[in-house]
Structure 1
């Protein structure tokens, strides 16, 4: 909200009501400072969405004047202006957890800005209490999804039927070790003494914002398996259509004298891959690296950029399309910077989505995602053998998003038809065929014809019941493209082969 004419005119930015979002995203993080509850009450569409997903009792409570800090409540937003209108101090207020690299500011506000700046449409924001630490982002032991009062952290958004992607900006911030040093700067020789105007700044900006000795005792980061265990426990069992975004933690390399991807995190992922039951759960997480650094912050997460671009591509091209190589709208740079060899190594094994900074065809430089990768195939573990080299193409995050999209669409169709049609009515099968033919025409399925792209078989397991078994062939993403140029008798010929 912006005050004009001596605060006599209040300008409240609010976007035009949008149609149904192609990909709804949720972010969990910290919002230190003030909470302007009256601004949320001025968003009737947001309150209606909260009631629709089961939070009507909480809405009635703070609507009636009861004090509320809005902790563990999913708030749907259509723009970053709405977020900053409700949480005006989210970018400037200091946080309880402080580290040399991440500083003392929350990451959620910046991630919200990145999301909408890159084309995001609808974002559910959950405010997590800082005093709860990492545990505040994860479901509690006594979680009952049918009882809203028992939900905290990730469990708060599992009840949103249309949700597709979840990010944890400030959980990543808590995973930055408090005393992890930065890349040492090169000191230049002192200049010769000279007279300078009194208005000129002569402070040495080489000094970091804090020395490690100036930091009070901060809680150590959790080990990656502990975070993944709490994150995937309910997702894999209750919401297998969801995809989580998570940036891998940092550690310091004395050999390189620089922060690097934590080798213990890579070892943990390798250990998960050896166990089929745990490996299957990893398909619900798209791991990102590296972090971001720019003129507005010392260190920041890329989940807002990635989620916003995923939502924009889902709206424009469909949820089965990848946002890899799309330019990301930001003034930040990757930190730490990775070489081409390191990028290829992380992409192929274990399967990390790596951000890089490269020159565009127009001559400028841009930040983009090298490839959308998963650590394991997006298919259930029973659908591919132990040797998954043949199924490497399905280790793509867009395949997982497409499968999640299918689950949500088919479940919504089933819930719509169950009370309206008789089980012997032929229209459900016709609707299914129409749905998959439309996907085939849009390029979501592969095959020379629609009959090769999908198959629907119906059966009657018992009286009064109808079962539909659907088999389909998702469009196989191109992970490698080989271009061959050959000179034959002075004539250049080219050939393109999909990898």
Structure 2
């Protein structure tokens, strides 16, 4: 928002009412400082969408300026936004106000505002913001025990996002911030020799930015609550996604811990072990809905921050332009930050292969994601077995495959809801609509196969009168992660061969 002529004229940038976004994103985080309800009430399109989700009573309370204090504070309410200007207009102090949780690395500012800016800077279109009260800690991001999705008054944290039928991706920037240990030290500074004594002009800055300093809030750091166990966080997220929204994808940055050998922050080894234990257990297939990321971002004028806003924004832009099945790996990402802590090539390869993490890297002066990797294949657990050769399913350990399957679920649900009241079950048009829909996907590169017959198959079954059942089999396209080339010298002539494995 820009203020002109001594604040007598206020200019609020707002995009035109837009097309439907292919990939909608929700972010849960902290919004400290005041809220300006009047600016939200001016967004009539946003209020209409909130009412369509069942939050009409909350909207009525906002318009009447009376009611539940939680509602008047815009807490645990899904608010659809179309630009970062709208966010800062509604939450003017969120980016500059102090938060209750303070740490050496994460600082004292909320991460949600920066992630909102990153989302729209990277081409994101529609973002649902859900403000979580700081005093609820990590539990405020997770559904309550008494949650009933059909009762709006019981929704909290993630449950608010589950009520959005068009949602595709969910992220938790400030939950990640709370998982940064308060006393986790920074990378040690390089010690320089003391300069020779000399006279300098008054006002000269003698700080060389390399000497050890004491943190001004050391007493406050000791009072900060410890991070929650990462497996408990996953146990609070994965079952809800698997049961209620198998089409959703979750972006989550792995936590940090202190590495004594490196004498610096590093990825938490316990978190990696917990992920492997979940993967190898009976509920390992739930991990297909989570795309793990590492490392964090940091740069001049930018404190430690989460990469989820950048990744979600680029995924949304790519989905809008080319389809949700397109990967963002290797594409330039807009950010003033650099990967922190830095990783070696070997560490990046190791995280990518086991357990399966999308690693951000700086290449040719540009921030990018090396690969959209998943821990397990983006398939139903009945479609693969852990006892089989893992390499056979490596192509399905891609987040874009999961985005395609989630997109199909939402599109087919919407199509079914339209047809159920308009067509007779004996009408052939539903099958024709399905065939046209999947043929278009095949032509745009979402499905493998040179012809429609190779890309998909639709079979109709009639179990009883008045019931339409269509069984749809598809061959989703996925990227080639590795190409093995073998060069053989036969009698002085080199011959190349592409291996099938």
User: What TM bracket, shorter-length normalisation?
Assistant: over 0.9
Name the counterpart of 2:42.
42
Partner of 2:275 in structure 1? 269
Question: Could you tell which deviates more after superposition, 447-456 or 237-246?
Answer: 447-456
Instruction: Report if aligned partners of 1:324, 1:370 keep a CA contact under 8 Å in 2.
Output: yes
Cα deviation 1:411-445 (Å, max 9, x = unaligned): 00000000000000000000000000000000000
Structure 1 residue 202, shift from structure 2 partner: 2.6
**Aligned-pair CA distance for 1:307:** 0.2
**In the alignment, does 2:471 pair up with 1:469?**
yes
Q: What residue number does 1:318 align with?
A: 323
Q: Is the 8 A contact 1:324 1:371 kept in 2?
A: yes
Distance in 1 between residues matched to 2:499 and 2:8, nearest whole Å = 65
> Residues 34-433 of structure 1 correspond to what in structure 2 (within 5 A)?
34-66=34-66, 68-203=72-207, 205=209, 206=211, 207=213, 209-210=215-216, 212-213=218-219, 215-276=221-282, 278-359=283-364, 365-386=365-386, 387=388, 388-433=390-435
Separation in 1, partners of 2:406, 2:94: 32
1:198 and 1:310 mapped to 2: Cα distance? 52
2:3 matched to 1:3? yes
Q: Which runs of 5+ in 1 are unaligned?
A: 360-364
Q: Judge conservation of contact 1:480–1:498 (CA < 8 Å) in 2.
A: no
- Alpha-carbon distance in structure 2 between the residues aligned to 1:60 and 1:75: 14
Contact 1:100/1:212 (8 A) holds in 2 = no
Decide whether aligned partners of structure 1 residues 129 and 211 sit closer, same or farther in structure 2, where only a CA change above 3 A counts: closer
- Residues 300 and 210 of structure 1, relative CA distance in 2, 3 Å threshold: farther
| Displacement of 1:221 | 0.6
Q: State the shift of 1:209 in Å.
A: 4.4
1:25 is paired with a residue of what secondary structure? strand
Aligned-partner SS, 1:410: helix
Q: How many Å apart are 1:485 and its aligned residue? A: 7.9
- 1:498 shift after superposition: 8.3
SS of the equivalent of 2:181 reads coil
Determine the structure 2 residue equivalent to 1:21.
21
User: CA distance change for structure 1 residues 179 and 442 in 2, over 3 Å: closer, same or farther?
Assistant: same
Structure 1 residues 91, 489: closer, same or farther in 2, change over 3 A? farther
Structure 2, gaps ≥5 residues long: none
Aligned residue for 2:198, secondary structure, equals coil
Q: Judging changes above 3 Å, is the alpha-carbon distance between structure 1 residues 496 and 156 closer, same or farther for their aligned structure 2 residues?
A: same
Structure 2 counterpart SS, 1:251: strand
C-alpha distance in 2 between matches for 1:325 and 1:204:
36
Contact 1:74-1:124 within 8 A present in 2 as well: yes
Deviation at 1:463, TM superposition (A): 1.2
Q: C-alpha displacement at 1:479, in angstroms?
A: 1.2
SS in 1 for 2:425: coil
Task: Report how far residue 351 of structure 1 moved.
Answer: 0.4
After superposition, the Cα gap between the structure-2 partners of 1:494 and 1:56, relative to the gap in structure 1 and judged at 3 Å, is: farther
Q: Decide whether the 8 Å contact of 1:478 with 1:498 is kept in 2.
A: no
Conservation of the 8 A alpha-carbon contact between 1:320 and 1:402: yes
Change (3 A) 1:189 1:224: same
Instruction: Give yes or no for contact 1:102–1:298 (8 Å, CA) kept in 2.
Output: yes
Question: Normalization by structure 1: what TM-score?
Answer: 0.95
Go from structure 1 to structure 2 and tell me whether the alpha carbon gap of 1:89 and 1:491 turns closer, same or farther (over 3 Å shift). farther
Deviates more, 1:179-188 or 1:202-211: 202-211
Deviations 1:162-214 (A, max 9, x none): 10000000000000011111111011111112222223223464426446455
Q: Distance in 1 between matches of 2:492 and 2:264?
A: 50
- TM-score, reference length from structure 2: 0.95
- Residue aligned with 2:99, SS: strand
SS at match of 1:45: helix
CA RMSD of aligned residues (A): 1.9
* In structure 1, distance between residues paired with 2:466 and 2:18: 40
Q: Match of 1:441? A: 443
1:456 matched to 2:458? The reply is: yes
Contact 2:246 2:406 in 1 (8 A): yes
Q: In 1, are the aligned partners of 2:398 and 2:478 still within 8 Å (CA)?
A: no
Q: For 1:280 and 1:157, how far apart are their aligned partners in 2?
A: 21
1:218/1:119 CA distance change after superposition, 3 Å: same
